[in-house]
Amino acid sequence: MSADGVDDSPEAEDWLPVLSFEEAFADDAKPSVSSRRKQRRAERASIRSAHERAGTRELRAVFQVLEALPAALPDLAANTRQVAGRAGGYCRDGVANTAADAEGEADETLPAPKKPKGRKHCPDVAEVDALLTQATAVLRTDCPYGALPEVFAPPEGLAILSAMIERPPKYQEKYLGQEWSILTKVSSLQEVVWALAGSPDGQEGKDIAVVDIGAGNGSLAMLAALLLGGHAVLVDHTLPPEPLRVEGRLPAEYRHRILRVTGDVGDLDAQEALEPVLAKHGLSRVVVIAKHLCGVGTDLALKLLRRWCWDGLTSGAHRAELLGAVIATCCGHKIGTEDAQVYREIHARDPYLTRITGQDGDRLETFLKICTRCVAWRTTAGASANRITDKQVRAAELFEDALQEPRSLAAASLL
């Protein structure tokens, strides 16, 4: 006997009345409308959960994005039409018409299924894989995301730094690798500085400005300036609250090595805003760093540097030299419609974008719209309880590569 008084012992079934055929199928034995509805609801719920397990919705999300790509990338158009007509099925509300569709086992020898009214194409895994492979071939870059090490630095440093720096784990994971990598790259310039100085005496970096664009509190720039023996020049359109500024936390004798320039990197004129500061402090060599400049902030920073380098980093009698630039980007998904035009203008002559879009500005904007919608899939994949699939991550990394390539080329052309 169960707690609610129902006899659920196996023998209890023996006492249920046995109905004749007529009794069982008599009109009054037909399921009521509400019980039929209940049954349909249960069936739909069970199909939905089968598709949740199979990741049908996520597969469709990546498929739709890849399917839109040929409008931006002419080289993809012909191949994609061929693949898109071959496999998959049609489904309603994210539900494929067969289990095989959801599991990616559609028979490629079958003709393409006709699209029934009101149903959406339900791609299968093989179809999405084929589109991804084609997109990868067109968007290939010299240094794809997957080939990058997680940190460009001795790995044990990460564990040590994370034990020393107190920060919520989410930020620790996001920032630490980049900070440690930037510092390692900057410290490699130290050797150049020492070699140029001939016999180092501790003063060899005193003419160096570490210009941090989008510096925020300035801690990273200060560490980089310490490594090289110079000043930190913090450029930001927003002055952080006083308690967060690095200058307020340093021992007094280091504070004079922090210089701030407040302004938007998109509007700043280096000759007007930066060079007088450098000249005043006898800083003639520049190392640029930038970390997490969202959206097109990185592109604007590159534009500023490009103009500055073309102008020769000079103003009147003051001459400056760019020693290097280390830039860690972020938040491609924040490149909105207006930003896409900025990106388009800044990278108008980029050879990579010219190759993939056929030097057509509208195609480039279409491409950016597609890419920026999905680059966050990769970061979301690290969040708890997310449903991002490996196909989405693969697409996100591909788009990230494409967004970054013109930036790498622009940065390389500075030196």
Binding site for ligand SAM (CB under 6 A): 214-216, 236-238, 264-266, 291-294, 297, 300
Nearest residue (CB) to ligand SAM, 104 versus 297: 297
Which residue's CB is nearer to ligand SAM, number 2 or number 238? 238
If the CB atoms of residues 68 and 294 are measured against ligand SAM, the closer one turns out to be 294
Based on CB atoms, which residue is closest to ligand SAM, 291 or 373? 291
Nearer to ligand SAM, 182 or 323 (CB): 182
Q: How far is the CB of 292 from ligand SAM (least distance, A)?
A: 4
With respect to ligand SAM, which residue has the nearer C-beta, 38 or 237? 237
Residues in the chain: 415
CB of 294 to ligand SAM, least distance (A): 6
Question: Minimum distance from CB of 257 to ligand SAM (Å)?
Answer: 18
Q: How far is the CB of 297 from ligand SAM (least distance, A)?
A: 4
User: Residue 186 Cβ, how far from ligand SAM at the closest point, in Å?
Assistant: 14
Separation CA 244–CA 107 (nearest Å): 60
Q: Least Å distance between CB 217 and ligand SAM?
A: 7
Nearer to ligand SAM, 331 or 414 (CB): 331
Cα separation, 268 vs 307, whole angstroms: 11
